[in-house]
Amino acid sequence: MIASIFREVKVSRPLFRTGLLSVALSLGACGTAGSPGFISRAPPPPAMVIVTDAGIANLSKDTKYTDAGLRDAFPGYEIETIQIAHETGTAWVHAAFLNGLQVVQIVKGSNRQIKAAYGVGDIVAGPNGERMGQSFSQLGLNRDNCRVGKSLWRGMAICDAKNATKVKLVLSIAGYQGPFDKLANQQDLAAATLQRIIWVPTS
């Protein structure tokens, strides 16, 4: 049983404890200009949490899924229990919050190991500097390194991060109407925006 420092909070929206989307995030999802895939948004805040093959922040393959392990991996953060929607269903996980904003979701594996961690906050950056809200086109991704999501992530693009083997990028297309059994056409895919950066230690 996780120690009492963890407070159970079921959040209906993934990034904010209050369930409110920020103006900056809303603008980042909808502003477009010029060529397909160009997303106009306010500059992100400085990256404080970096996702690499080695892990997220101080979270690594050696981190135990315990109160002490997660506190050590995210010093100064609040650790709370939340329910999330992953690709094939929902799950209760622990999340690291900073100043009330959700930054990382940590999924428990067997034997108190970390199964996966999802970077979801604006202060998260990928191994090549990828930031939330950037488009497929801006990220310079290749559709050959992507697959279409299924179930709760249907229609989303799940792509390999460049120069990494344990990091995946999850992108969604606003208002996408399908087809959902294959990747979107290149024009729609170019405008897909980054929603999660996933680290899987055993991949």
- Asked if the model's pLDDT at residue 45 lies above 90, the reply is no
- Predicted pLDDT at 14: 41
For 124-180, what is each residue's pLDDT tens digit?
A: 999 999 999 999 999 999 999 999 999 999 999 999 999 999 999 999 999 999 999
The residue among 44 and 1 whose pLDDT is bigger is 44
What string of H, E and C letters represents the secondary structure of the chain? CCCCCCEECCCCCCCECCCCCCHHHHHHHHCECCCCCCECCCCCCCCCEEEECCEECCECCCCCCCHHHHHHHCCCCEEEEEEEEECCEEEEEEEEEECCEEEEEEEECHHHCEEEEEECCCCEECCCCCECCCEHHHHCCCHHHEEECCHHHCCCEEEECCCCCCEEEEEECCCCCCCCCCCCCHHHHHCCEEEEEEECCCC
- Average pLDDT in the 72-78 region? 96
- Predicted pLDDT at 43: 76
Q: How confident is the model at residue 37 (pLDDT cuts 50, 70, 90)?
A: low
Go through the domains of the chain in sequence order and give each one's CATH number: 7-199 (2.60.460.10)
Q: Comparing 32-36, 93-97, 164-168, which segment has the lowest mean pLDDT? A: 32-36
- Asked if the model's pLDDT at residue 41 lies above 80, the reply is no
Q: How many percent of the chain have pLDDT more than 70?
A: 79
- Predicted pLDDT at 115: 96
